[in-house]
């Protein structure tokens, strides 16, 4: 939270030393409980164990699918603000059906509990239906209302229609939250992602992880000018962030589809190579022209629309109580039989969160177009 005050030059060899120390803010984020669950019957397990029963063992197939979607859900949360909002109600026809639109669509800021750092659809990189699927438990509005499981989803270019298997009170402009079955998780239970760590001072609160932005190194390098992405703007924010970095810190830049293509066009206009190369940790991407060392520009489909995130990877810590794993039954293994049924349940669980140790060493550009 402050630099070392004991660094000084002596006026003579008889002058007194200045004794001081650096101080560190005690950041804290709460534990988040990420889960993934599926039920499978004894009949299905036995019927698909052999090649004659099915093309793929259903137990193995469901486990692979769950693990893949679990990772996708965690990745979405790493870029999010912790609210759990995945869509917005465009209009409601009854308690059991509503039209929906993307949370990046105009009007998101009508809900003051969500960060106003989102500026509506910029490049249409995140479709309205991206995070909506059948079988999902959702709630609307305050984040603690009635819970409904999505029964059907009708997609369209301008959003779509959701039907629930239980009444959900939904009104125009309310946010749609991914929820647990009890409806108590919406709004508070997701990972405190980069949107929370790198939010602007105008985002409704100037604190992160229990510490104010006024504390040294806690306010990110933030830019919200609506304009085409430019190398000059990226350089400005990168250099501002790097001033707060430690020697040897590794940077990476994350963008969605439109800005990834735009950056490639920028390199082409400068007559530089646009081939993707291995840069850090086995990742491949486009090399950032102004980077000190290898700084990559990487495509990620969950980066919020119109944002360019310049991330100091050494400031991020994935906190966890224990490693991600399957819950085990008392006899070992990942399947637990449901009482009074010949059905088993498998559950993945991870007690985790994301902590940014120095937001000032990171930068966030919003409203960038091609």
Return the pLDDT at 361: 96
pLDDT for 104: 47
pLDDT of residue 370: 92
Q: In Å, what is the CA distance from 317 to each residue of 183, 193, 333? A: 29, 11, 30
3-state SS class at 287: strand
Domain definitions of the chain by residue range: 85-178, 194-319+355-369
Count of beta carbons in the 10 Å neighbourhood of residue 20: 13
- 8 A C-beta contact, residue 347 and residue 36: yes
The list of the chain residues with pLDDT below 70 reads 1-2, 23-25, 50-56, 92-116, 120, 142-145, 157-159, 167, 202-205, 271-283, 289-293, 329-333
Nearest Cα to 142, choosing from 113, 107, 115, 100?
113
- List pLDDT tens digits, range 78-90: 998 888 888 878 7
**CA separation, residue 189 to residues 42, 100, 144, 304 (Å):** 33, 22, 12, 20
Q: Which of 196, 159, 195 is nearest to 307 (CA)?
A: 195
- According to DSSP, the β-strands at 316-320 and 343-356 are antiparallel
Under DSSP, the state recorded for 126 is S
- In this prediction the pTM is 0.84
pLDDT tens, position by position, 328-350: 765 566 788 888 888 988 889 99
- The single-letter DSSP state of residue 174 is P
pLDDT at 27: 84
- pLDDT for position 273: 61
Q: Which CATH number does the domain 85-178 belong to among 3.40.50, 1.20.120, 2.40.30, 2.60.120?
A: 2.40.30
Could you give the CA distance from residue 166 to residue 180 in angstroms, rounded to a whole number? 14
**Can you tell me the distance from the alpha carbon of 164 to that of 183, in angstroms, rounded to the nearest whole number?**
14
pLDDT of res. 205: 63
Q: What is the pLDDT of residue 107?
A: 36
Q: What pLDDT, on the 0 to 100 scale, is given for residue 351?
A: 94
């Amino acid at each position: 939270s402050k630099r070392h005050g004991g660094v000084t030059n002596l006026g003579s060899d008889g002058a007194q030393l200045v004794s001081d120390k650096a101080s560190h803010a005690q950041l804290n984020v709460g534990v988040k409980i990420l889960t993934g669950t599926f039920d499978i019957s004894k009949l299905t397990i036995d019927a698909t164990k052999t090649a004659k029963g099915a093309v793929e063992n259903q137990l193995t197939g469901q486990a692979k699918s769950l693990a893949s979607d679990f990772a996708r859900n965690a990745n979405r949360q790493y870029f999010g603000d912790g609210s759990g909002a995945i869509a917005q109600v465009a209009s409601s026809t009854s308690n059991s059906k509503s039209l929906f639109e993307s949370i990046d669509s105009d009007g998101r800021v009508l809900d003051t509990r969500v960060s106003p750092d989102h500026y509506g659809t910029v490049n249409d990189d995140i479709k309205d239906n991206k995070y909506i699927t059948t079988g999902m438990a959702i709630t609307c509005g305050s984040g603690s209302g009635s819970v409904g499981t999505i029964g059907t989803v009708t997609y369209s270019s301008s959003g779509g229609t959701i039907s629930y298997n239980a009444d959900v009170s939904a009104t125009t402009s309310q946010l749609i939250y991914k929820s647990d079955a009890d409806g108590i998780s919406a709004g508070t239970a997701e990972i405190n992602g980069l949107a929370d760590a790198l939010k602007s001072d105008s985002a409704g609160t100037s604190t992160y992880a229990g510490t104010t932005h006024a504390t040294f190194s806690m306010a990110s390098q933030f830019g919200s000018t609506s304009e085409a992405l430019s190398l000059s703007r990226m350089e400005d924010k990168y250099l501002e962030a790097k001033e707060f970095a430690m020697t040897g810190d590794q940077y990476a830049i994350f963008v969605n589809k439109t800005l990834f293509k735009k950056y490639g066009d920028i390199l082409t206009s400068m007559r530089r190579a646009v081939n993707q190369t291995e840069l850090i940790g086995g990742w491949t991407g486009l090399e950032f022209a102004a980077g000190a060392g290898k700084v990559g520009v990487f495509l990620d489909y969950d980066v919020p629309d119109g944002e360019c995130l310049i991330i100091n990877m050494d400031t991020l810590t994935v906190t966890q109580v224990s490693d991600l794993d399957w819950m085990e039954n008392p006899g070992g293994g990942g399947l637990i039989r449901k009482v009074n049924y010949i059905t088993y349940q498998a559950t993945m669980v991870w007690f985790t969160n994301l902590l940014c140790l120095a937001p000032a060493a990171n930068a966030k550009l919003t409203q960038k177009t091609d």
